[in-house]
Chains A and B, each alone.
Chain A
């Protein structure tokens, strides 16, 4: 194991995005970091019961689940709202020509249709 040719810091773009979102929300005072690590540790432990986590995608999946739970709990992101927007983004990707930037369109945006 050498770090002459290091692996990318985030192996998928969404790993970096969910990391940054969490750090930003902590820095703007939405939750403190010890609360975050306590919650995240519990999620990792729960996920690790059924299989051994390899520290890659599964790690950030647990990270995202923890963030979703905290945001739901403090009332910033109710699961049905998140799901509507997730579906809207999916529809936007599927209706955007390959190579074009993807935006939420009025008809797909639950809050703006």
Chain B
């Protein structure tokens, strides 16, 4: 799909470099222009890409959740004001946004969406998956959240309230999923392995140990 243009429009022996798709060329053009004007530092761009591709991802959030399961004081502080608590662990919002932790309980299940665009707790979960950015999820998460959950294979027990949180540029939500049964005495690192990305968005549950 991405390399199709070169095959469709040019010779087939690849005598020249594969032509990137049009938007890729437009991005190159912007980079060239802004770099000549001294407005960007190409090394900083590489650093940002590397950070999000290799260093920041759901593992960060999973550490936070596992710690909240294991440490009642940490959990209380996280629920009271998550931003400084996760900053202490080295997870900062690049855009200065606040992180709000919402906890799933026997009575309430939380689910996160950004109806307007795709705001997401980047420092804790990395770049959102395509489905989070899709029109379908952004519209349906509010209109028919239980049907969306069912699509993800999650059925909530009768009587459990479903709360949907709409993220903004200023506030990003992290769901603290319920701690699975049979995990008493597990280490924080072992607990973290049970915490999936989707469970921290609220479209999934934490894994059962041994599952």
Q: How far is the CA of A37 from the CA of B97 in the complex (A)?
A: 12
Q: Tell whether, in the assembled complex, residue B16 and residue A97 are in contact, meaning their CB atoms are under 8 Å apart.
A: yes
| B16 touches which of A83, A98, A111 (Cβ 8 Å) | A98
User: How far in angstroms is the closest Cβ of chain A from B140?
Assistant: 11
Instruction: From the candidates B24, B32, B152, name the one contacting A1 in the complex (CB within 8 A).
Output: B152
**B134-190 interface with A by 8 A CB criterion:** 134-137, 152-153, 168-170
Q: How far is the CA of A9 from the CA of B59 in the complex (A)?
A: 14
In terms of DSSP, what is the predominant structure of the interface of chain A?
Answer: helix
Which of B22, B27, B29 has most chain A Cβ within 10 Å? B27
Chain A residues whose CB sits within 8 angstroms of the CB of B136 once the complex forms: 52, 54
In whole angstroms, how far apart are the Cα atoms of A77 and B31 in the complex? 10
Instruction: Name the distance in Å between B1's Cβ and chain A's nearest Cβ.
Output: 8
Give chain B residues whose Cβ lies under 8 Å from the Cβ of A90: 19, 25
> Are B96 and A33 in contact, with the CB atoms below 8 A?
yes
B27 engages A64 (CB within 8 Å): yes
Count residues on chain A whose CB falls below 8 Å from chain B CBs: 69
Q: How far is the CA of A82 from the CA of B34 in the complex (A)?
A: 10
- In-complex Cβ contact of A19 among B52, B131, B197, B203 (8 A): B52
- How far apart sit A81 and B20, CA to CA, in the bound complex (Å)? 19
> Whose C-beta in chain B lies nearest to the C-beta of A53?
B135
| Contact with B45, one of A21, A53, A57, A81 (Cβ below 8 angstroms) | A21
Residue B202 CB within 8 A of the other chain: no
Name which residue of chain A comes closest to B46, CB basis.
A20
CB-CB under 8 A from A56, the residues of chain B are 130, 133
A-B pairs with beta carbons under 8 Å apart, 19 shown: A1-B131, A1-B153, A1-B203, A6-B197, A7-B130, A14-B20, A18-B27, A19-B52, A21-B45, A37-B169, A53-B134, A68-B26, A71-B30, A76-B33, A77-B34, A86-B22, A94-B10, A98-B17, A98-B18
Residues of chain A whose beta carbon lies under 8 Å from any beta carbon of chain B: 1-3, 6-7, 9-14, 16-21, 23-28, 30, 33-34, 36-38, 40-41, 44-45, 48, 52-57, 59-61, 64, 67-68, 71, 76-77, 81-86, 88-90, 93-100, 102, 104, 111
